[in-house]
Amino acid sequence: MGLLSILRKLKSAPDQEVRILLLGLDNAGKTTLLKQLASEDITHITPTQGFNIKSVQAQGFKLNVWDIGGQRKIRPYWRNYFENTDILIYVIDSADRKRFEETGQELAELVDEEKLSGVPVLIFANKQDLLTAAPAAEIAEGLNLHTIRDRVWQIQSCSALTGEGVSDGMNWVCRNVNAKKK
Amino acid sequence: MLVQVCLYFYCKCLWRCLKFVVRKLTGRCELQRICYNIKPGAERTMKIETSLRSSKNKLLQNSTSVHPDAIEKTVDAIIELKKINPAVNPQLSVSLQACLLQIVGYRNLIAEVEKLRREPYDSEEVLHEEMLLKLWKCLKPDSPLEARISKQWCEIGFQGDDPKTDFRGMGLLGLYNLLYFAEHNGPAAQQILLDSLQPKYREITKEEISKYSKSEWEKKKFDKAIGYSFAIVGINITELAYNLLVSGALKTHFYNVAPEAPTLSHFQQTFCYLMHEFHKFWIEEDPLDIMEFNRVREKFHKRIIRQLQNPNMALCPHFAASESLINL
């Protein structure tokens, strides 16, 4: 095989496409996380009406990340995006303790969804840059994450604002892309 | 690449030679020619701006960023530098001054808007809180707010029970704009809020009735619920207006409507116009649901940019255009 054909083969080897769903309450930091993943400016963000989508290359994968608005009014639309999801990323505002119960409920409902059954879940305990942020372990306990047994899951503390912890979470995503339980 | 660089310098050289020859032939410099040949407005000011910016002379280059108070002196210096006799060309210094006021004013407006955008909403600040409560009063004059933290905020299109987390990257600018709209165009703002709260039903034409069976029609009709969140969309349109301003696209508009320096209220009027136009556009686009928001917004953004490429364009409000609102 000549060098040219090797090169051609390398070039044509398509990245595996991965569909990632980014959910969470409003003001959790989903869009900031999305922009951080795409290395875009995060200073002009406004509340998401509808959804945003971006494709990011990572470790031989083409991650198609769907960021759906978290406003209560929009949450009924979440289900329209469940189909064919490879990984669910759920974002929590770790400093908004008043809404831990609400966010826990939404997460529990997602885990119960038939269309998302077996889909690996990464929970980002976001906004760790704030002094008032609850540590990931506390959130895991409060949300009873240990009761999730039908899929692989992980909780990762991060700050979408500074980028800290984000790549650790995404490494986990890339490792578990094919871990969906049928 | 090299060819492009050579071509660039060749063109630049050619342009300078051409300017020199024309100057010798007409006895007028480029600034004079622009002022004499083009009527006041965006076209003239933008040409003057390009001419000054691309000049080799430091005085001309820096003239677009001087303090507004120094404009008169700068113009005098330019006229002296260009060896123009002010007695023969009395109109020139007035024209140049007007252009510079607009150019410098636009720069300063960007700085002013940016400052507001960078100031986050702070619920400890009395002024911020007062403005927020005033926004409620202007939009909902007949129903008082029961508590500062209340589900009622959703009625004017905030996401949750406390609007403070919704301003985000637009900071105070979003609140300033929304309040300006509600205060200065009260009836229009209230009407748009009312429309945005209601699901829109298609108007039935006779043709359509004959096309669908009754049950099909009923289904189609009630599938559609395309209300949007007024305040959130206002913050989003603030971002659109901010983008247009910073990218320079709004120069066309401001240079046409503001005879001197554009001010914050000019920017806020533009915001009101954009809100009104976006609402019309949303209805025309007839989206299936709110999830189409970003698609519609992108299309709207492109349309406005295209309109602003026309040097005669001005984004002028015509709020009386209520006939465009579909009767609910």
In order along its 328 residues, chain B shows pLDDT tens digits of 778 888 888 888 887 777 777 776 676 788 888 888 888 889 999 999 999 988 888 888 888 889 989 998 998 898 888 888 878 888 888 889 999 999 999 999 999 999 999 999 999 999 999 999 999 999 999 999 999 999 999 999 999 899 999 999 999 999 999 999 999 998 999 999 988 887 654 454 555 555 555 555 554 544 444 589 999 999 999 999 999 999 999 999 999 988 888 999 999 999 999 999 999 999 898 888 889 999 999 999 999 999 999 888 888 755 333 333 333 2
In angstroms, the CA A34 to CA A54 distance is 7
Asked if B159's CB is within 8 angstroms of A72's CB, the reply is yes
Binding-site residues of A for GTP, please?
Answer: 24-31, 70, 126-129
The series of mean pLDDT values per 10 residues for chain A, 182 residues long, is 63 78 95 94 93 90 93 91 94 94 94 93 96 94 90 94 94 85 60
Cα nearest neighbour of A96 on chain B: B165
Contact call for residues B71 and B104 (beta carbons, < 8 A): yes
Asked if B64 is an interface residue toward chain A (Cβ–Cβ < 8 A), one would say no
Q: Which domain holds residue A23?
A: 13-175
Binding-site residues of A, please?
Answer: 24-31, 48, 70, 126-129
- Residue A23 inside a domain? The answer is yes
Q: How far lies B115's CA from each of A116, B172, B197, B269, in Å?
A: 44, 9, 32, 18
Asked if B113 is an interface residue toward chain A (Cβ–Cβ < 8 A), one would say no
Per-residue pLDDT tens for A80-122? 999 999 999 999 999 999 999 999 999 999 999 999 999 999 9
Contact call for residues B221 and B201 (beta carbons, < 8 A): yes
pLDDT value, residue B223? 43
Asked if A27's CB is within 8 angstroms of B290's CB, the reply is no
- Residue A52 inside a domain? The answer is yes
Judging contacts by C-beta atoms under 8 Å, the chain B residues touching residue A73 are: 154, 229, 290
Q: Is A71 a catalytic residue?
A: yes
Q: Catalytic one among A71, A105, A154, A156?
A: A71
Asked if B233 is an interface residue toward chain A (Cβ–Cβ < 8 A), one would say yes
Helix, strand, coil fractions of chain B, as percent rounded to 5: 70, 0, 30
- Residue A4 inside a domain? The answer is no
In angstroms, the CA A140 to CA A155 distance is 7
> Does the ipTM exceed 0.90?
no
Residue A122: which CATH number? 3.40.50.300
In angstroms, the CA B7 to CA A180 distance is 57
pLDDT value, residue B210? 59
Q: State how many domains chain A has.
A: 1
- Residue A181 inside a domain? The answer is no
In angstroms, the CA B242 to CA B234 distance is 12
Nearest residue to A122 (alpha-carbon basis) of A164, A167, A81? A167
Question: pTM score, two decimals?
Answer: 0.85
pLDDT value, residue B80? 87
- Residue A73 inside a domain? The answer is yes
- Residue A6 inside a domain? The answer is no
Contact call for residues B122 and B128 (beta carbons, < 8 A): yes
Three-class SS state of B309: coil
